[in-house]
Amino acid sequence: MSQKFSLRRIRQWPRWTIIPIGVGLAVIAIVLGLLLEPVGYALTAPQVEPTPTLPAIHYSRTLSDGCHDCHVSLPALRASADDPTTAEEYLIEPESVMTPHGTLGCVACHGGNGEAEDKETAHQGLIPDLSAENPKQCLICHRDLPDEIPGDRLRLPHGRIIERVEQGEPCDVHCSDCHGGVGHGFDPVSGDVICSMTVCLDCHEERQLDVQTTDCDACHIGPHDIAESLTCSDCHASTERWDEVDATIHPYPLEGKHAETYCFDCHQYPDFKGLENVCADCHEAGHEWGDDDCAACHDPANSWDLTAGTWPQHIDYWDQYKGVHAQLSCQACHFETYENLPSDCDYCHTAPSSHDAEVYGSDCVQCHQADQEWEEGTLPGG
């Protein structure tokens, strides 16, 4: 009876009541969705490691006016210096204030008080070289530093320095050792100032660093394919000018004009290819006689004069043909063809009429000494 009554009451509700009921249900669904969305995202989103925030570098350009007033003026430095003769060492070029490092302001790296009126107060807490005393400050901006500069063929100790700095270990090389006083008108990286290699060598020697002056490949990337068997110092005689070469270990003796020739006048740069250490690599013979070893007959140390006594064909008997024979040029006997000659004397000499060829034969040295005048007729053995 009661169920029939309830259904009867519902049927008696106006039809428009369905609208507010539907709207209410929709509002409840939206509110629940908004409340539960952050919870669902927190449960399903991947966990992200927070990125540490690097310490900020305080921009101190406006706080460094007192520093500029003194350090860009040589008279001001001389007036305040304990020793006026050293004042120029602390002078900076006015335009360097506007470089990337200079615009940070002196106080940003050196500390001190750039607004103080007296020198003692301004220099309290002064840091002369930030890269030596607190190099981590340099790494705030300079982190992606290369270990090699292929264009300049240089190897750099950046990786080793950064590792030691981050681990808090002492480092024997500081940024300022190579890069100078950045922000003070000196910066080799810009290309405006180039350090001589002597600067590096002097520093290594003074500090007794591990890399010594003979270890060229610790800093230099050699362009030659022979670098595995030779060191830079084997050929390069100067650390100031790399084009000064003294190839003392050259496989072929560099004498005479050869010693005056630049390496790549003969060799192919950079790998010294194309030669087999024979004269014919560079020289074209003026005759068909002989082989590629011109030095077997010619003396490269003496304007390529002929040295017939070194010919293999003469070794067996040339010593006995001394005197006039040794003074003759090769063409005196061989003419232009340089063909082989018989060793018989009568090939070049005509026996006098007093000689009977059948008796004496053609071997004149059986009776005549080759190193004396033949007219004497001196017989071998006295």
Query: What tokens appear for 7 in the block?
Result: 């259904």
Residue 248 in domain: no
On the question of pLDDT at 378 being above 50, the answer is no
DSSP state of 203: H
Residue 121 shares a structural domain with residue 168 = no
Most confident of 97-111, 185-199, 254-268, 273-287: 97-111
15-42 mean pLDDT: 72
Q: Are 296 and 310 in contact (CB under 8 A)?
A: yes
| Mean of the per-residue pLDDT values of the chain | 75
Report the distance separating Cα 220 and Cα 232, nearest Å: 9
Residue 10 identity: I
CA-CA-CA-CA dihedral for 233, 239, 242, 243, to nearest 10: -100
User: Residue 358: which residues within 8 A CB-CB, separation 6 or more?
Assistant: none
User: Residue 27: which residues within 8 A CB-CB, separation 6 or more?
Assistant: none
pLDDT at 336: 63
**Domain boundary, last residue among 178, 205, 234:** 234
Report the distance separating Cα 167 and Cα 113, nearest Å: 30
pLDDT at 28: 81
Residue 149 shares a structural domain with residue 83 = no
**Domain boundary, last residue among 89, 105, 126:** 126
Residue 101 in domain: yes
Domain holding 369, by residue range, is 346-376
Residue 146 in domain: yes
DSSP state of 65: H
- pLDDT tens digits, 192-230: 666 677 777 788 788 777 665 567 777 888 888 776 677
Region of 267 on the Ramachandran plot (φ > 0 left; ψ -120 to 50 alpha; else beta): beta
19: exposed, middle or buried (Cβ count in 10 Å: 0-12, 13-18, 19+): exposed
- pLDDT tens digits, 305-353: 666 555 555 655 555 555 666 666 677 777 666 666 776 777 777 777 7
**What percentage of the chain exceeds 70 in pLDDT?**
68
**Domain boundary, last residue among 204, 234, 264:** 234
Q: Are 300 and 278 in contact (CB under 8 A)?
A: no
pLDDT at 325: 67
Query: How many domains are contained in the chain?
Result: 3
On the question of pLDDT at 380 being above 50, the answer is no
pLDDT at 381: 43
**158 versus 59: which is more confidently predicted?**
158
pLDDT class for 379, splitting at 50, 70, 90?
very low
**164 versus 12: which is more confidently predicted?**
164
pLDDT class for 367, splitting at 50, 70, 90?
confident
pLDDT at 377: 47
On the question of pLDDT at 279 being above 50, the answer is yes
Report the distance separating Cα 252 and Cα 261, nearest Å: 13
pLDDT at 141: 83
Residue 333 in domain: no
Residue 243 in domain: no
